[in-house]
Structure 1
């Protein structure tokens, strides 16, 4: 049989590939001659019909980071760009190899969950997971120091996990499946959020009042989809519970320093079967009764029990009930 062409490179002996066993022998020959090295391992099982198929060499995460960043000093690396399958790459060990990582780009990777990143990337400020086939943002509670989140062109329907980001200023969730303004309303809990991108979420942008609705739910926004609001940003609604615009600077929630001290009570007023004493009707009487009790008034009245049949009421003079009300002095 005439020798075949250089299918496997320059070998000492050219072996016809008539069966699987001869294929395995040919591969062994190439290994001996250094044509195939350990970086391109092959299957040598003569029973396997796919014997001789190259198997790519999968480096560990440390080797991958060294190759990507071009340095062996991974502790000094602050920015990393990878395109990997998160579970296979072992990204949960990123915090071990790159403790000072500040920006991580995984655009185009396969990320099943942000939990694959672990929970110890305390220095991470910018996370980019665009086009990663993400269906949820679970795992953000382990990345609390993120200031910019880019998660465009995924399959997200819920933004609630973003509320765990205490310092986030920019969120980009364009091109997802968000269609409910109630989902967006949770972002009001991100008190530092200023820039939000929700374009190409048809369920939201199709609303004619889209920009007004988002601003109503998140008043602290400065820009939406890269377009700045004309009116200045407001405060989140949750930060001013029960307060109006005119008294937002009043410290009505603060108590005086002596609020927890034991306050003396005035002598109990005599009670009658008719209910509360007449002292309640006269503020001056209450003030004189309390004396210097620092705004603490005590009134007493006899308990009243109604009969379920005849409606008659009876009171017990032996047991008086005391009710104490406090009026805090104005500052």
Structure 2
């Protein structure tokens, strides 16, 4: 029976792992600090529009606390700026079969990259032979230790999965993807298996362009026009680089067919995305260098510039390092700093 090792049990990893455990699948959540202690002490509290449940889960701090086997599937769901540290931690862990070591995790086990951005897949190939990209659409929030809030109904979220790169797909990959689809579809998610997952991930990247603005400004002014300017710049950069992006119409239709977002009883009225959550928790770092900063990188690599995305990435990076909270800047201040 497949066991899912969720490396990074925050909003996405905790929500995914919690739902899988709730529906009878073998799951190990990898967490740290107060969150790990809460999971080990009282299980995972999973809150959604229709449920408030506490689930017994297996939670560990790292690979030294479990024994890996060929039945394991690793799911990387950290923030992108934390991904390389996690990859190096897990790649060389021995895989045991019938009491003997048969290889390492990097050699033997599939790794799913369930995190934002488009960089983790190529990062993972430095360490893992078999990488499967995951495009995540899941309205989930992790603010308190031991707790994840999921706001999607009737499905908790939607995932596009595929081998990376797509041309590497084997019959074994197809079999594994079909198995994952069965397991995750049956755990209140929807899994789609496109021929190539990366156009979906680039479309999600465009959606994540607004994360930095939401995190920095919060309720402190209307920032829609700023997001539009940054998104337009991002689209121009991707088009100039010849990168294929799933169309807005296809993405919107697919997502609306899967879930809608509803409030969760007893939770704050305002709940933001991943970058907003990082600032709210005072984590000291954010992933926007791999979102807006990714657009800047692609632009520079192709002899162009992306000043709006480069500047907002820098603002978010500095805000996190300084311990600022959502809404510490106004929309007018950010517009001035971006020259808009």
Highest CA radius of gyration, 1 or 2?
Answer: 1
Query: Quick check: which one's helix share is greater?
Result: 2
TM-score (norm 1): 0.23
The higher-RCO structure (CA 8 Å, 6+ apart) is 2
TM-score (norm 2): 0.22
Query: Quick check: which one's strand share is greater?
Result: 2
